[in-house]
Amino acid sequence: MSTRTARLTPHLLLAPATICLVLFVAAPLVIVLVLAFFNLNLVTGTSSFVGGTNFATEIPHPEFARALRNTLLYAVFTIGPSMVGGLLVALLIHGLRRGQGFWRSLYFLPVATTLVAMSSVWRWMFRADTGVVDTVIAPILGIHDWLSDPNLALAAITVVGNWHQIGLVAILYLAALGTLPQDQYDSASLDGAGGWNRFWHVTWPALGPTTIFVFIMTAGSALQAYDVIAAMTQGGPLGSTETLTFAIWNRGVHYFDIGRAAVLSLALLVLSVAVTAIQRTGYARRLENGGSR
Amino acid sequence: MSAPVHIRAVEKTFEGAKRASTRILNEVTLTAPAGQITTILGESGCGKTTLLRIVAGLESATGGSVHIGERDVTSVHPSRRGVAMVFQNYGLYPAKTVGKNIEFPLKMAGVPIAQRHTRSLAAARLLHIDHVMDRLPAQLSGGQRQRVGIARALARDPEILLMDEPLSNLDAQLRIEMRAELVAMQRRIGSTMLYVTHDQTEAMTMSDRVVVMRGGHIEQQGTPEEVFRVPETTYVAAFLGNMNLAPAPASETGAGAGITLGVRPEHFLPADRVAAEPGDLRIEGRVEFAELLGTDRILHLRAGNTLWRARVDAALPLHEEITMVARAANLHRFDTESGVRVAA
Ligand SMILES: Nc1ncnc2c1ncn2[C@@H]1O[C@H](COP(=O)(O)OP(=O)(O)OP(=O)(O)O)[C@@H](O)[C@H]1O
Ligand SMILES: [Mg+2]
């Protein structure tokens, strides 16, 4: 084989993947970036370059800060709890002597259901005064009608998001727990490590790569949360559950304002890049490599 | 500061699938004397690791008891038995550096950090791994990993040191070096050592006492000399030193059939060099095969239905037909049916 073909072969082999990446990742990104500088009229089909106007109108608009804040809140309150909760559930199920299959299926059920369909069940549970949530919690905490309260609606959405996510996190952690090497636990047992130390010094480092994967996955779905919001609150009341994704849909599809929707999309992109950056930082790197302390 | 280990009538059955249970250990009774090396020798799968894990407390015995010194530790937690163990597959913490690995038991015991450092460094020095303290186990060779495992076991000054085939993953040269080092190290720290191996050379060279196991029970125990010189069964005879075992010719034994004769290959002497005496075994065989082992040669001699192995000087001229003699004092007799030694 000549050096020329030798040099070309890897590129040829990568070509299909490269074409897909360009077509479905790079191109849309460029298009969004370009659209942010244009005013597109979908009715007449005309477009005009407007410079930074879309940024100037969208960013100071209350909708922008609100959507950003809601997205961040939703992300923080679904990523953290569903990761911790999923890990706890996985550890508990893993510790069971019998009935592991049953509990595993039970926790996986929310993942396997359609979120839109289940959201209407949740809406019924959150219904003012007669819903399960109000009948149980209202007498204790004095709060009721979550979905109509701008201060509680996002919390309700977060509850559903966690409910949906925990099962998946638990399944992923359970799979990882099933492959942990027993010999380290034997060492730890002889070395005098109790329950917590066994977890912290053996289990947690060994779960590192899974933790990173779970984080990326939950962060991805948190930033893109749309279906729960669409099915339960439509972004309301008073935009209190409007996240970036929902705002993009609202701007672009509802108001046909493609330019401002593109600006919102760019904001979401920046957030996603930030999450990726977290995943490359020191501790995450160590976790990914099996974690070393 | 060492104590003997008494293992009394220990039994172990594993509950297998479909309620079938298999007995892995059967009435195992042995004593590992204080401050000495006791080797548990047996072929793969005979239950050596299981026995060691029971002494460590990682596995519970189905019956019997384990005493360390005067203390019954049968149901004491592993960390409170004063035992340290070196595992067959190292059992290191992959996420911790070598230094942290060695320190870990001390950290768990609440030893102050400064003391932890000095003690782990001392253990590492003893095993010549103090220059790799900052590496992760994955960045070490197999031999270095095994040393880390040993250093971690030593760091706590254990009364009892359990070793499960610690040298099985090393190459031949390193194994020979480590063998001597381990013995020297044990002599220095004076711990009671229970050492599991399937390698008869390790057992013979390292131990104060050898325990030969077979299929979950003890076949014979004693000093290496005793076990080698007077094997109690055909199994031990064949396992240690590869003894020739053949049905005794009727002419040789007054008792007649039912006796197996055992001769070590090195006990055969060329007939032309010794004067045969009554009671000696005389083999007139045809050389089927000869293996040269440096200064010695193993001859495979066919005599009737039996193939004998004789270890002779490599300088001995090779003929097709050779007559060998084994002295009466070097003949072992076993009951063919039970395999047990019978008095000559
Ligand atoms: N947890 C277990 N469940 C069922 N059977 C087991 C278990 N652990 C070991 N055994 C069986 O017990 C027997 C003895 O195992 P053990 O590991 O003690 O052997 P060993 O003498 O250490 O062998 P090796 O030299 O190969 O390490 C084997 O037949 C093995 O299959
Ligand atoms: Mg073993």
Place of tokens 């005064």: A129
- Give distance in angstroms: CA of B71 to centre of ligand 2: 26
Local confidence band at A292 (pLDDT 50, 70, 90 cut-offs)? very low
**Ligand 1 pocket at CB < 6 A:** B 14, 24, 42, 44-50, 198
Please tell me the pTM assigned to this model.
0.79
- Give distance in angstroms: CA of B193 to centre of ligand 2: 16
Q: pLDDT, tens digit, for every residue of A226-237?
A: 888 888 888 778
Q: pLDDT, tens digit, for every residue of A173-222?
A: 999 998 888 888 999 999 888 889 999 998 998 898 899 999 999 998 89
To probe the interface with A, which of B79, B93, B98, B104 has the most A CB atoms within 10 Å?
B93
- Give distance in angstroms: CA of B48 to centre of ligand 1: 8
- Atom nearest to B196 CA in ligand 1: 22
The arithmetic mean of pLDDT across residues A113-133, rounded, is 83
- Answer whether B96 touches A (CB < 8 Å): yes
Least CB–CB distance from A292: residue in B84, B85, B136: B136
Mean pLDDT of chain A, nearest integer = 85
Which class does domain A54-290 fall in? Answer: mainly alpha
Burial state string for B112-122 with b = 16 or more CB within 10 A and e = fewer than 16: eeeebeebbbe
Report which of B58, B148, B131, B143 is spatially closest to residue B96, judged by C-alpha positions: B148
- Give distance in angstroms: CA of B49 to centre of ligand 1: 7
* Chain B closest-CA separation from residue A183 CA (Å): 5
**Domains B5-233 and B242-335 belong to one CATH topology:** no
Instruction: Indicate yes or no: CB of B152 within 8 angstroms of CB of A184.
Output: no
- Atom nearest to B47 CA in ligand 1: 18
To probe the interface with B, which of A180, A191, A204, A210 has the most B CB atoms within 10 Å?
A191
B108 contacts in A (CB within 8 Å)?
191-193, 197
Instruction: Return the half-sphere exposure (C-beta side, CA atoms, 13 A cut-off) of residue B17.
Output: 0
Least CB–CB distance from B95: residue in A192, A197, A293: A293
Domain over B242-335 is classified CATH 2.40.50.140: yes
- Answer whether B108 touches A (CB < 8 Å): yes
Mutate to test the pocket of ligand 1, among B11, B13, B14 (most ligand atoms within 8 A of CB): B14
Q: pLDDT, tens digit, for every residue of B18-71?
A: 666 788 888 889 999 988 999 999 988 889 999 999 999 999 888 889 999 888
Among protein residues, the one whose CA lies closest to atom 3 of ligand 1? B14
Closest residue, chain B, to A195 (C-alpha): B108
- Give distance in angstroms: CA of B61 to centre of ligand 1: 14
For chain B, the three-class secondary structure string (H helix, E strand, C coil) is CCCCEEEEEEEEEEECHHHCEEEEEEEEEEEECCCCEEEEECCCCCCHHHHHHHHHCCCCCCEEEEEECCEECCCCCHHHCCEEEEECCECCCCCCCHHHHHHHHHHHCCCCHHHHHHHHHHHHHHCCCHHHCCCCHHHCCHHHHHHHHHHHHHHCCCCEEEEECCCCCCCHHHHHHHHHHHHHHHHHHCCEEEEEECCHHHHHHHCCEEEEEECCEEEEEECHHHHHHCCCEHHHHHHCCCCEEEECCCCCCCCCCCEEEEECHHHEEECCCCCCCCCCEEEEEEEEEEEEECCEEEEEEEECCEEEEEEEECCCCCCCEEEEEECHHHCEEEECCCCEECCC
Residue A290's pLDDT is what? 65
Q: pLDDT, tens digit, for every residue of B314-338?
A: 888 888 888 888 888 888 888 888 8
Instruction: Indicate yes or no: CB of A189 within 8 angstroms of CB of B109.
Output: no
- Total Cβ atoms within 10 A of residue A119: 20
pLDDT at A1 over 60: no
- Give distance in angstroms: CA of B251 to centre of ligand 1: 44
Region of residue B279 (left: phi > 0; alpha: psi -120 to 50; beta: else): left
Instruction: Indicate yes or no: CB of A205 within 8 angstroms of CB of B109.
Output: no
Residue A293's pLDDT is what? 41
Which class does domain B5-233 fall in? Answer: alpha beta
- Answer whether A100 touches B (CB < 8 Å): no
Closest residue, chain B, to A288 (C-alpha): B95
Q: In what order do the strands lie in the sheet with B259-263?
A: B244-247, B259-263, B332-335
Is B82 within 8 Å of B40 (Cβ atoms)?
no
What does the alpha-carbon distance between residue B334 and residue A266 come to, in Å, rounded to a whole number?
Answer: 88
- Give distance in angstroms: CA of B124 to centre of ligand 2: 26
Any idea where the domains of chain B sit in the sequence?
5-233, 242-335
pLDDT at A291 over 60: no
* Chain A closest-CA separation from residue B127 CA (Å): 19
Among protein residues, the one whose CA lies closest to atom 9 of ligand 1? B50
- Answer whether A187 touches B (CB < 8 Å): yes
Instruction: Indicate yes or no: CB of B105 within 8 angstroms of CB of A192.
Output: yes
Any idea where the domains of chain A sit in the sequence?
2-49, 54-290
In DSSP terms, B309 is beta-bridged to B300
Residue B257's pLDDT is what? 62
pLDDT < 70 positions in chain B = 1, 17-20, 249-257, 344
Least CB–CB distance from A186: residue in B83, B87, B100: B87
CA trace torsion B120, B122, B127, B132 (10° rounding) = 60
Peptide bond into B94 cis (omega under 30): no
Mutate to test the pocket of ligand 1, among B13, B21, B24, B165 (most ligand atoms within 8 A of CB): B24
- Answer whether A202 touches B (CB < 8 Å): yes
Helix (H) or strand (E) holding A48: strand A46-49
What does the alpha-carbon distance between residue B313 and residue B135 come to, in Å, rounded to a whole number?
Answer: 49
What does the alpha-carbon distance between residue A31 and residue A36 come to, in Å, rounded to a whole number?
Answer: 9
Closest residue, chain B, to A187 (C-alpha): B91
- Answer whether B97 touches A (CB < 8 Å): yes
Instruction: Kindly state the percentage of chain A with pLDDT values over 70.
Output: 98
Least CB–CB distance from B95: residue in A190, A192, A205: A205
Is A251 within 8 Å of A184 (Cβ atoms)?
no
* Beta-strand pair B5-15/B268-270: unpaired
Nearest-5° angle of CA A184, CA B109, CA B160?
70
Instruction: Indicate yes or no: CB of B136 within 8 angstroms of CB of A192.
Output: no
Instruction: Indicate yes or no: CB of A201 within 8 angstroms of CB of B58.
Output: no
What does the alpha-carbon distance between residue A136 and residue A131 come to, in Å, rounded to a whole number?
Answer: 9
What does the alpha-carbon distance between residue B7 and residue B67 come to, in Å, rounded to a whole number?
Answer: 6
- How many inter-chain contacts (A to B, CB under 8 Å) are there? 68
A193 contacts in B (CB within 8 Å)?
79, 104, 108
| Amino acid found at B272 | D
Please identify every residue whose CB atom is under 5 Å from ligand 2, which is an ion. Answer: B 49
What does the alpha-carbon distance between residue B87 and residue A182 come to, in Å, rounded to a whole number?
Answer: 12
- Answer whether A197 touches B (CB < 8 Å): yes
Instruction: Indicate yes or no: CB of A208 within 8 angstroms of CB of B95.
Output: yes
